[in-house]
Amino acid sequence: MTTRPRAMYSSTRRQGKLNDWEIYLRLLGYVVPYWYLFALSLLGYLVYSLGNVLLADTMQFLLDALNDTSDVANGIVSGVAYRLFYSPDMGRLEFARVAVPLAIVLLTLTRALGFFVGTYFMNHVARHLVHELRCELFDKMLVAPSAYYDAHSQGVLISKITFNVEQVTGAATKALKILVRESLTVVALFSYMLYLNWRLCLVFVAVAPLIALVVRVVGRHFRRYSRRIQASMGDVTQVSNETIGAYREVRIFGGQSQQRERFRHASDYNRVQSLKLAFADAVSTPVLQTLLALALAALVWFALSPDILAGFSAGSLVAFLIAAGQLGKPMRQLSGIQSVLQRGLAAAEDIFAQLDLEDEIDTGTHSASRVNGHIAIADLSFSYPGTDRVALRNLSLDIPAGSTLALVGRSGSGKSTLVQLIARFYRPDSGQILLDGVPIDDYRLANLRSHIALVSQEVTLFNDTVYNNIAYGALADVPRERIDEVARLACADVFIARLPNGIDTVLGDDGGGLSGGERQRVAIARAILKGAPVLILDEATSALDNESENYIQQALDNIMRQRTTIVIAHRLSTVEKADCIAVMDAGTIVAIGTHDELLQRGGIYAQLYHREFSD
Ligand SMILES: Nc1ncnc2c1ncn2[C@@H]1O[C@H](COP(=O)(O)OP(=O)(O)O)[C@@H](O)[C@H]1O
Ligand SMILES: [Mg+2]
């Protein structure tokens, strides 16, 4: 892959405009289709939490049986056991000896089942959520306008799909599970404590606002650091990507220390922000634990006061204290997942911001099964988004159907820009382009592009066989002979025959192993195969030697005869025969005519021509 123009602005640092509730609701929207799995999971966790409470309650059963008091049947477990199974000829201790172990085993098994159901189905839901988010983000890249690619570096985009989605995964699987399970446990334990003695529970009500405050403050910090970590991961990926892609340049130009510096910088920023996050994380848990322990201490003090003790059996008191003690673990877990949760929310925020970006505009409704290929360009002006330099200025041009137009001009004069506008990769600021008399904006985007075959300046090949690279996309099911034929027309047959598996050789990453000229020939074969009425060749033969270029030129001449062709050529010798040559300079057409006319007229064309031939 070639590097694209660097970002005009780094939108990874721009924060999404969604507020927290919108993020939660939107995430919840992904869960809705799987509500029954979600409900099943909730049920499982509910069983798990109740199991926890009832196990605490069983201690009351045990203790009050040991003391042989009449309070023994007052608990939940003991109450049920006595009502259903107790017969008066049994001793209380004898009964408890069988009933308590049995209750422990049954409750533990039920709790285990609840845990399994809760965990497994919550994962089910979470994995769906992540999968859908990832696919939506990927699909977005398929419809994003070109400006999106201009504004983001490749590394940053890749890191959005890999790192950011992974952050949501963490939040959705681990954090969501803990959030649901432990919240239910807290609620269940607390309800049980209220049921045993509501006045004692007031101690917890007193510390609750403090706990909420800590959670809130820490959460806000987590989010801030998470955003920075995300952005820095984008930079880390970008620098790695660049260094891998340009490893030759890096070495030849001695850029190692520069690349190392940039990478160190990005990675170090990541380290510092992660450390800040870890600091907040490490502080928050002990603080919360201390708050809880203080509450627990106060609780014991109050619980052992004579008037409270009077209303309690020893068993109930112990059950109450056990339940209170058990609150510690879920509270700790809940505070522990804050960092994961906030990372996930920060990532979701960024993903949603991406998803909310506008697609390539596709509001046209016109469809033609085949066009003649008459292109009329009227008063076209264009600047690349985010720049104020004019790339095309009041450009008008008429290309009759079936004719060949050559665009020539110095590099940077706007030739590639013009053909990109014809394929609607960008929209003009003013003026319009007509294809067969219909503004190209009125075509459905896919239909418009089906009429155009483009070989661009930078050939991109896919990590697949030569065969599949030629028969790429909508062309996938053409007969094999046709592929061989177009390979021959593009003069690619000779080098293909030399590949280890011929046309079925898998090309590496971006056509690795092929020379520039060979890659261009594969791209030309692809374009010939498409057989579209409009053929655009943007310096498509620039990497070929003179001989191959002449040879391809003959093949192309045949193909060009039946279609509208726009050729951008760096060698003027290849455009002499064009029906019409347009000379571009500074974004507009400065001269137009045949080769001979232009040569006679002097000007840029004559200059370029003579320079080429004096070399
Ligand atoms: N993606 C882009 N974003 C901003 N400016 C661009 C972009 N691509 C090209 N340009 C600018 O537009 C002008 C015309 O470029 P281009 O059409 O590629 O020239 P040519 O193909 O004639 O060499 C140049 O000044 C170039 O710097
Ligand atoms: Mg160009």
* Strand 404-409 to 580-585 pairing: parallel
Helix (H, G, I), strand (E, B) or coil at 391: strand
Ligand 2 centroid – CA 267 distance (Å): 36
- Residues 364, 313: contact at Cβ < 8 Å? no
Helices 516-530 and 546-561: crossing angle in degrees, nearest 10, is 10
- Token pair, residue 89, equals 């000829």
Per-residue confidence (pLDDT) for residue 315, from 0 to 100: 84
CA distance 38 to 23: 19
CATH of 375-614, one of 3.90.1150.10, 3.90.320.10, 2.50.20.10, 3.40.50.300: 3.40.50.300
Per-residue confidence (pLDDT) for residue 395, from 0 to 100: 94
Q: For a pocket test of ligand 1, which of 384, 388, 390 has the largest count of ligand atoms closer than 8 A to its C-beta?
A: 384
Per-residue confidence (pLDDT) for residue 545, from 0 to 100: 78
Ligand 2 centroid – CA 409 distance (Å): 10
Nearest residue to 221 via CA among 177, 279, 178: 279
Per-residue confidence (pLDDT) for residue 139, from 0 to 100: 93
- Token pair, residue 83, equals 């009502």
CA distances from 242 to 161, 458, 513 (A): 18, 17, 19
HEC string for 251-273? HHCCCHHHHHHHHHHHHHHHHHH
CATH architecture of 20-355: Up-down Bundle (1.20)
Per-residue confidence (pLDDT) for residue 553, from 0 to 100: 78
Q: Which atom of ligand 1 is nearest to the CA of 411?
A: 23
Per-residue confidence (pLDDT) for residue 276, from 0 to 100: 92
Per-residue confidence (pLDDT) for residue 101, from 0 to 100: 93
Per-residue confidence (pLDDT) for residue 400, from 0 to 100: 94
Q: Which atom of ligand 1 is nearest to the CA of 538?
A: 21
Question: Across the chain, which distance is largest between two alpha carbons, in Å?
Answer: 125
User: With a cut of 50, which residues of the chain have pLDDT below it?
Assistant: 1-16
Residue boundaries of the structural domains of the chain: 20-355, 375-614
CA distance 175 to 279: 19
b/e burial code for range 513-544 (CB count within 10 A of at least 16 → b): ebeebbbbbbbbbbbbbbebbbbbbbbbbbbb
Q: For a pocket test of ligand 1, which of 390, 410, 417, 589 has the largest count of ligand atoms closer than 8 A to its C-beta?
A: 417
For residue range 128-155, list pLDDT tens digits in order. 988 999 999 999 999 999 988 888 888 8
User: Atom 5 in ligand 1: which residue has the minimum CA distance?
Assistant: 384
User: What element of type H or E holds 584?
Assistant: strand 580-585
| Length reported for the chain | 615
User: Atom 24 in ligand 1: which residue has the minimum CA distance?
Assistant: 412
Per-residue confidence (pLDDT) for residue 516, from 0 to 100: 83
